[in-house]
Chain A
């Protein structure tokens, strides 16, 4: 289980979980699940396009995910953010369908771009993952304070002269960066579930931003490690285990939050970091 190709999977999986946990904290806090789903899912079209004209899929993915981030961020200024995200997603997918129809794409490749082929990661794919992952983490660290403020108290952030729309675009670019790094190796599904489930669970357990980030990284790591072990034993897709384990963690978190606040005043949503910061 720890030899050869599996060792690559452990390394890549660990890196993806760390980035997913850190970026996911802000995805859940800001309610950006839809862009976090749309950018990786649509960006796979870029890989298909790159395949068609014979360049490195990583470039195609990068171009598409950055274009998606800028497009969603730019169009959302003048329209409804959720409708714009949906339209950007379908436009990218339609382009992907056109690229696939022009090339003689082999079907399993679609499957692996969407659902990931982490067990087939080769050694030379690890370096870009680590570099892009580091870029993501550094970007989040730089944006940390303004992003936290803008996510929790947009009014205060605006009063302090921060521009929420610029921050939003910057954050979408971080998601695009995480996408470029992860989709070729783990697929669009896996990075999405690793961003949402563990972070949402962690925010049920604690009110503090720092602890929530550490918690979501820890839960994401546990999820991917358990998923890799199960996938290795059973031969079923890794993405299936990751999504199921993420959902289970979220269920545990919701249960804990409900138990903690007491059944008497069980609240609609668990106390999140946002409450703690607006109260203090």
Chain B
């Protein structure tokens, strides 16, 4: 037992904060992620973490609240992608690439200015990789509140969103404004990604957004089980990863420990590989036939 739970796991303040924030982030990311995966917007979902990071480094430079920078950067980036064509089938890939490239260029500039302005080393590392263990407990309510906003947007548009993801023509025929749905979804995605980038770092943000959702969409037969399963996988991977990272302080000789992101991402990646095994993932059924199941059930 001693090897599984090293002493002081639950009585440790940062660990408790990490468990709460990690759990909330994992749930929101997984729910948004299911739609991101169904809509094939993983590139945009990942690009928004980097765009949010640019917002964070800009906020650091101007001395604003980093949370404001992350969310603001994400929303502005989502708007720019939408404006130059992320919603359109063709050119969406290039539009995302251009926004991402520009954002990364600005991030390079701000990080450079940050390091020349103040001698605070660690800014680059913290903005890029984040750390779930260094979260300020006072941000917990704010993170939970904004997560609720993202979830509320998704819940309120979930039916038209799913329909438009599967058949644009059918949705248009029912008189639903596709563009408005797409923009609302991008905003929800930007808020969720911005939050998770600042809470758990940009690596984990993409991992929690795409990994659990992609695994569950491979297995689940309809939308609701897919959402529940994605959230459960995300939370399980996050909490196990935190446990392993905490324990790893005792494993590695240098007693420095391994980063929590390494464990969480490895668990998620493993989970994706396992769901691809035929007997687990109900074979290699074409993604479209699985999508049809989802749409029939909800229709």
Contact = CB atoms under 8 A, between A and B. Distances in A.
Interface of A: 28, 31-34, 36-37, 75, 78-80, 82-87, 89-91, 93-95, 97-98, 101-102, 107, 110-111, 114-115, 189, 192-193, 196-197, 200, 236-237, 239-244, 246-247, 250, 254, 268-270, 272
A32 B93 CA distance: 7
Contact of A193 (B37, B105, B257): B105
User: Which secondary structure dominates where chain B touches chain A?
Assistant: helix
A102 B100 CA distance: 30
Interface in B142-195: none
B43 A34 contact: yes
User: Which secondary structure dominates where chain A touches chain B?
Assistant: helix
A200 B121 contact: no
B288 to A, nearest CB: 11
B214 A200 contact: no
Interface string B15-57: 0000000000000000000000100111101110000000000
B96 A269 contact: no
Contacts of A193: 101, 104-105
Interface of B: 37, 40-43, 45-47, 84-85, 88, 90-91, 93-94, 96-98, 100-102, 104-106, 108-109, 111-112, 115, 121-122, 124-125, 128-129, 203-204, 206-207, 209-211, 213-214, 218, 252, 254, 256-259, 261-262, 264-266, 268-269, 272, 276, 284, 287
Given A33-B93, A86-B42, A240 B105 contact: yes
A200 B94 contact: yes
Contacts of A240: 105-106, 108-109, 112
Contacts of A82: 40-43
Given A107-B121, A111-B112, A268-B91, 8 more contacts: A79-B272, A97-B259, A98-B258, A107-B124, A111-B111, A192-B97, A196-B98, A246-B101
Contacts of A189: 101, 104-105, 108
B29 to A, nearest CB: 12
Contacts of A236: 109, 112
B262 A33 contact: no
Nearest to A106: B121
Contacts of B102: 243-244, 246-247
A102 to B, nearest CB: 7
B166 to A, nearest CB: 14
Contact of B203 (A90, A244, A247): A90
A37 B97 contact: yes
A94 B261 contact: yes
A269 B206 contact: no
A243 B104 contact: yes
B97 A33 contact: yes
23 contacts: A31-B90, A31-B93, A78-B284, A79-B218, A84-B214, A87-B210, A87-B268, A87-B269, A90-B203, A90-B211, A101-B257, A102-B256, A115-B111, A189-B101, A192-B101, A192-B104, A240-B108, A243-B102, A243-B105, A243-B106, A246-B101, A247-B102, A250-B98
Nearest to B87: A268
B203 A97 contact: yes
Nearest to B129: A97
A242 B46 contact: no
A101 B256 contact: yes
A71 to B, nearest CB: 10
A87 B214 contact: yes
A95 B40 CA distance: 25
B218 to A, nearest CB: 7
A110 B128 contact: yes
Contacts of A192: 97, 100-101, 104
B124 A78 contact: no
Contacts of B88: 268-269
